[in-house]
Amino acid sequence: MDTIEYGFGQHLMLDGYGCDREKLMDLNGIYDFLSRYPDEINMTKIMPPYVFKYSGKVPEDWGISGFVLIAESHISIHTFPEKLYLSLDIFSCKAFDSDAAIEHIKKIFDIKKVEIKLLDRGHEFPKVIRKVHHFLRNERANMTV
């Protein structure tokens, strides 16, 4: 019998403090980062990045936000130049080197301090559906609506 593997993928959440203000303000730079970064971590970009400037009700809360959809999920970023802060997520069903990604992002944005959360998502998600189809059919047959 085949071994059944479970788990959807990694979700890296990075909070960066003491970032380079100019880089956090650079809409084109953030667009370029989101455009090229999927290739750098061997992911598949499926659309151009969407990046925009946000101006909130509180003046110092303005910043740049953007995301890029990848076949494996997404990469997103939110910057707050007045606070020298960014939040960045990489969520992927394909494994990637999170330590290398963290170091690379720290260099790109000149981050002085980081908070990192790395989650394994979808613990019960079957990686190969044909290996569990008989379980799913039995489970669905016994469901009541």
Using the 8-state DSSP alphabet, how is residue 61 labeled? G
Confidence tier at 122 by pLDDT (50, 70, 90) = low
Show Cβ contacts of residue 144 under 8 Å, excluding neighbours closer than 6 positions. Answer: none
What is residue 132's predicted lDDT score, i.e. its pLDDT? 46
Three-class SS state of 6: strand
Query: Predicted confidence band at 119 (pLDDT cuts at 50, 70, 90)?
Result: confident
Q: Which of 11, 35, 87, 93 is labelled catalytic?
A: 93
Query: Of the listed 78, 87, 98, 104, which one is catalytic?
Result: 78
Is residue 78 among the annotated active site residues? Answer: yes
pLDDT (0 to 100) of residue 143 = 63
Q: State the Cα–Cα distance between residues 28 and 139, nearest whole angstrom.
A: 50
Among the ranges given (22-31, 40-49, 71-80, 89-98), the one the predictor scored with the smallest mean pLDDT: 89-98
pLDDT at residue 123 is higher than 90: no
Residue range 2-20: mean pLDDT, rounded? 79
pLDDT for the residue numbered 1: 47
Whether the pLDDT of residue 24 is over 60: the answer is yes
93 included as an active-site residue: yes
> Cα–Cα distance between 58 and 108 in angstroms, integer?
27
pLDDT in tens, 40-75: 999 999 999 999 999 988 888 999 999 999 998 999
Domain ranges of the chain: 9-122
Which listed CATH number (3.90.550.10, 2.60.40.1120, 3.40.50.300, 3.60.90.10) goes with 9-122?
3.60.90.10
Overall size of the chain counted in residues: 145
CA atoms of 68 and 51, how far apart (whole Å): 9
